[in-house]
Amino acid sequence: MIRIMTVVGNYYPFIGGAENIARYIVEQTNDADFKNDVLTIASGCVFPLINSPHKSLEIMHTPTTAYSIHRVKPFSWFGKMKEGGYFRYYTFASLLINLIRHSRNCDVIHAHTYQGPASAAVIVGKILNKPVIITGHNRISRLRDEIAEGVMPSYLLKALKHCTRYVAISREIARECESIAGMDANKVCLVYNGIDTTIFSPTNAKARLRVQLDLPADHVIVTCHGRLEKHKNQETLINAFARSASKNALLLILGEGCERERLERLVADLGLTDKIRFLGFRKNTELYLQASDIYCLPSRLEGFSLALLEAMASGLVCIATDIEGNNDAIKNGENGFLFNPDDTEELANLLDKTLVGYNHQWAMEMGQRAREDVVKHFSLQHMVDAYRDIFRAVSKR
């Protein structure tokens, strides 16, 4: 049995792309061949409707066996979590000490994200002579830029070179490992994120779902889901939707974030409050996707978007920005459409095209090809099998 210690900045019930992938890997490899435990930070910042249990130890159960979650509490005054400055170093030191304590009996340390987890994993790997795998969920160039701006410490980039394996989730991140981080190419593995294609799948019950979700039966529904943050670029989607000639379209924006209030003001200023709905955080995103016709991902920056894969697997006509990660999954004009994230007019034209033709033969075939590609290349099983192979390889070094 191979024992794996996963260290990640946030973990369930915090829900985000990196957190979901970490949980998928842990729970899908927790069986007779692999034993997992998790070390994370008890973040005080979680999405609305989710309560973060600030406990030092929790036991989670999978269909096969249980695993432990150890939560490191960051520095706090009167129960209020402190972040940044010296508080950041306190949290890192606490993470480091706990990782040393809990990793003594493991065979592999697996770190997610560039911040404290990756650096702590590399240090502990050296101290305990353990192989270290790092999965980076964002572009290395983004980390480099944040270091240059003083947002992140420079040692984070240096730490990447000392891992046993680095898992890149897109082709561009794999290229950046050598060109920016100076890593040995033999250490880099390309493993695309994967999703559960049984949960995210097309349905024949769209009309019933729309009644259940209080959505109009006679509208073409465009959906976008994810955090409401500047780099997610929902503003471009809203402006493009405002230019669309279609009168029977409804745009659903699912998610929470610091941009929500500003985006709601924009919608009101455009006179579109009856055409664009902000639904906030939703656990059942698969139902909204199944009830929709078109999906749009307007992000300026992605690692490798789970949200896009979920929409593709649901058989929707997908429109996404032509950026690294997205163009690993979307072949323009074949299984979806790509557009320049700065070109509102281009997106408006694509929306017009798909809003008119969403139920035409070409659109149905495009959605079908999108699902087939996800099942073939980006399924949860493909991802988990790849990680199993990496765990086995590094544990035999």
d(CA 39, CA 9): 8
Q: What's the confidence (pLDDT) of residue 291?
A: 97
Q: What's the confidence (pLDDT) of residue 51?
A: 46
d(CA 157, CA 114): 8
Q: What's the confidence (pLDDT) of residue 151?
A: 63
One fold for 2-194+379-395 and 206-377: yes
Q: What's the confidence (pLDDT) of residue 297?
A: 97
Burial classification of residue 352, based on how many CB atoms lie within 10 Å of its CB (0-12 exposed, 13-18 middle, 19 or more buried): middle
DSSP H/E element including 110: strand 108-112
d(CA 154, CA 156): 5
Q: What's the confidence (pLDDT) of residue 83?
A: 57
pTM of the model: 0.84
* Domains of the chain, residue spans: 2-194+379-395, 206-377
Pull the structure tokens for residue 279.
């639904």
Helix (H, G, I), strand (E, B) or coil at 100: helix
Q: What's the confidence (pLDDT) of residue 183?
A: 84
For residue 377, count other CB atoms closer than 10 A to its CB: 13
Report which DSSP code applies to 75.
P
Report which DSSP code applies to 64.
S
d(CA 341, CA 318): 15
Cis, bond preceding 298 (omega within 30 deg of 0):
no
Helix (H, G, I), strand (E, B) or coil at 9: coil
Burial classification of residue 114, based on how many CB atoms lie within 10 Å of its CB (0-12 exposed, 13-18 middle, 19 or more buried): buried
Is 206-377 in CATH node 3.40.50.2000? yes
Listed in sequence order, the residues at least 6 apart from 317 whose beta carbon sits closer than 8 Å to its beta carbon are: 293, 294, 295, 336, 337, 354, 358, 363, 366, 367, 370
What's the CATH class of domain 2-194+379-395? alpha beta
Q: What's the confidence (pLDDT) of residue 87?
A: 55
Residue 29 contacts residue 41 (beta carbons within 8 Å): no
Q: What's the confidence (pLDDT) of residue 130?
A: 95
Question: How would you classify the pairing of strands 66-72 and 80-81?
Answer: unpaired
Pull the structure tokens for residue 2.
């191979």
| CA distances to 215, 244, 311, 354 from 219, in Å | 8, 14, 18, 13
Q: What pLDDT tens digit does each residue of the chain (397 aa) get?
A: 999 999 998 888 777 788 889 999 999 998 889 999 999 887 654 444 344 444 567 888 887 788 999 888 766 554 555 555 545 677 788 889 999 999 999 999 999 977 788 889 999 999 999 999 999 888 777 777 777 776 666 777 777 888 999 999 999 888 888 888 888 889 999 999 999 999 999 999 999 999 999 999 999 999 999 889 999 999 999 999 999 877 789 999 999 999 999 999 999 999 999 999 999 989 899 999 999 999 999 999 888 899 999 999 999 999 999 998 899 999 999 999 999 999 999 999 999 999 999 889 999 999 999 999 999 999 999 999 999 999 999 997 6
